Amino acid sequence: MEVIIVHKSAFKKIKKVAKAKFEKEEKEVIGFLIGHFHDESIEIKDIIIPEQTADRTFVEVEEEVSLVNALIKSNRIGTNEVCCGWIHSHPGFKCFLSATDIETQMYWQRVNPRNIALVYDPVHVEFKAFRIKKEEDSFQEIDIPIKIHD
């Protein structure tokens, strides 16, 4: 069974940013997962937070250029690390994929079927990984175990 290994520094980053965004402005936050795909795991080493527009129940990256700029600032360009999916917060709503999130995740899985969606709720301190499985005319969320790694 596949497992998501999140480096402690990446986990601390999303916790800090999501908590601050919610406490100051009651807003969601979005980011991109940087790491490696292994045979039975996905290793998340960093989370890139680009410029974004958000409110309590919605968040989007303002422009694709902001993602490229965030990657350049992170010094991740030129490494063998790849984008393994995306992460966003659901402050106070617990961890799930909304209809919009499902569409977004389907896009990510068209790019790479192993890409994942991580959802973090800074209010309930909950963290979950998801992938979408299409079954005829419906979709099923697949929970994937997460381990925090030093």
Structural domains for the chain: 3-149 (3.40.140.10)
User: pLDDT value at position 70?
Assistant: 58
For residue 50, pLDDT over 90 is answered with: no
User: Distance (Å, rounded) from C-alpha 89 to C-alpha 80?
Assistant: 27
- What are residue 51's phi and psi, to 5 degrees? -60, 145
3-state secondary structure of 7: strand
Per-residue pLDDT band at 122 (split at 50, 70, 90):
very high
Of the candidates 51, 88, 93, 46, the one whose C-alpha atom is nearest the C-alpha of residue 68 is 51
For residue 69, pLDDT over 70 is answered with: no
Look up residue 23 and give its amino acid. E
For residue 138, pLDDT over 80 is answered with: no
Arithmetic mean of pLDDT, 2-27: 88
Arithmetic mean of pLDDT, 17-37: 86
Arithmetic mean of pLDDT, 48-60: 70
Contact criterion met (CB below 8 Å) for 47 and 13 = yes
Chain position carrying tokens 């979005």: 30
For residue 119, pLDDT over 90 is answered with: yes
User: pLDDT value at position 64?
Assistant: 59
User: Distance (Å, rounded) from C-alpha 52 to C-alpha 135?
Assistant: 33
For residue 79, pLDDT over 80 is answered with: no
Arithmetic mean of pLDDT, 3-29: 88
Q: In what order do the strands lie in the sheet with 116-121?
A: 138-144, 126-135, 116-121, 82-89, 30-37, 41-48, 3-7, 146-149
- Its pTM stands at 0.83
Contacts of 143 (CB under 8 A, 6+ apart): 128, 129, 130
Per-residue pLDDT band at 73 (split at 50, 70, 90):
low
User: Distance (Å, rounded) from C-alpha 119 to C-alpha 106?
Assistant: 15
Q: Which two tokens stand for residue 116?
A: 């994942």
